[in-house]
Amino acid sequence: MKAVRFHRTGGPEVLRYEEVDRPISGAGQVLVRVAGAAYNPADGGLRGGFLPIPITLPHTPGYDVSGTVEVLGDGVNSLAIGDRVVGFLPMTENGAAAEFVVAPAEALVVAPTRVALEDAAGLPSVGLTAHQALFEVGRLSAGQRILINGAGGPVGGYAVQLAKGAGAQVIATASPRSRDTVAAAGADEIIDHTETSVLDAVPEQVDVLLNLAPIDEQGFAAMVALVRDGGVVVSTTPRVATPGDASRGVRAATVYVHPDRSVLTQLVDLVDNDALHIDIAQRVPLAELSRIHELAETGGVHGKIIAVPSTV
């Protein structure tokens, strides 16, 4: 089969599109014929050797997958051959940038039926990140106000939709390029952060501040003033410590996405009930995945990109 791998860490040039042996599913695993593998920034971090996640070289990136169950390993009874599935794969193992991938059965759920199977790969990790940030960590509830800083990216799109679906009032920051997307996701108010200071544009404090954007320590600390007493600051950017304010009871929490089969199933149900939209910016042939890594190095990737094997 064909796969994209890197035999050493480094820049996008270390990626190779090459022939490799088809993997064999073990106990508790299934072999998936890949329909789509989503590109995520962490793929670049793993390839570059920047993330403290242990991998074995050569390594195949791509921890978001959609596809069809080809072979069942021993003890798997939650899935059947031919099932269309989607999942968030262990980042320590070989990923979905290949024609076939072995996945733990517990990482997979039945894919949504309202979208093309390859596009379903755009849901798992970013959808889970948004859900965990809002509800597991942020404890967002109906009637609360939330400020989503950096709502124009893939996680932000899901966060806006999920927050609105939960009955929250959503204030979002976005650039002119992503404003229409954020509006379509349902934001009640959009702040153009390229023209307006967020500190000046949010006169009424919020219950939850969710940061999804690159930010410096000083700027992040200043935004805590926008959160009411007893509120929470949540962030997905671990390179900068998430600030809080103990004197006002403002919690601080950083989100590290983790697999959750139950929540992923809920997200799929929302998609199938037309209550959550999967927004895919582009599909590219698997053989061109290295080009996407190159674009990402210069900030040229906007939106969710799906790599599609030639066998699809």
- Please report which confidence band the pLDDT of residue 311 belongs to, taking 50, 70 and 90 as the band edges: low
For the four alpha carbons of 285, 288, 293 and 296, in that order, the dihedral sign comes to negative
Position 88 scores a pLDDT of: 98
pTM of the predicted model, to two decimals? 0.95
Residue range 61-113, pLDDT digits in tens: 999 999 999 999 999 999 999 999 999 999 999 999 999 999 999 999 999 99
**Domains delineated in the chain:** 2-123+278-308 (3.90.180.10), 126-254 (3.40.50.720)
- Please report which confidence band the pLDDT of residue 302 belongs to, taking 50, 70 and 90 as the band edges: confident
Residue burial 251-283, b: 16+ Cβ < 10 Å; e: rest: bbebbebebbbebbebbbebbeeeebebebeeb
- Please report which confidence band the pLDDT of residue 121 belongs to, taking 50, 70 and 90 as the band edges: very high
- Please report which confidence band the pLDDT of residue 246 belongs to, taking 50, 70 and 90 as the band edges: very high
**Helix or strand run (H / E) with residue 24:** none
What are the residues whose beta carbons fall under 8 Å from the beta carbon of 78, sequence distance 6 or more? 105, 106
Average pLDDT score over residue span 268-272: 98
Locate 47 and state its tokens.
Answer: 């390839």
Range in 70-74, 178-182, 232-236, 251-255 the model is least confident about: 178-182
Q: Is the pLDDT of residue 312 over 80?
A: no
Average pLDDT score over residue span 266-285: 96
- Other C-beta atoms closer than 10 Å to the C-beta of 231 total 24
Residue burial 32-46, b: 16+ Cβ < 10 Å; e: rest: bbbbbbbbbebbbbb
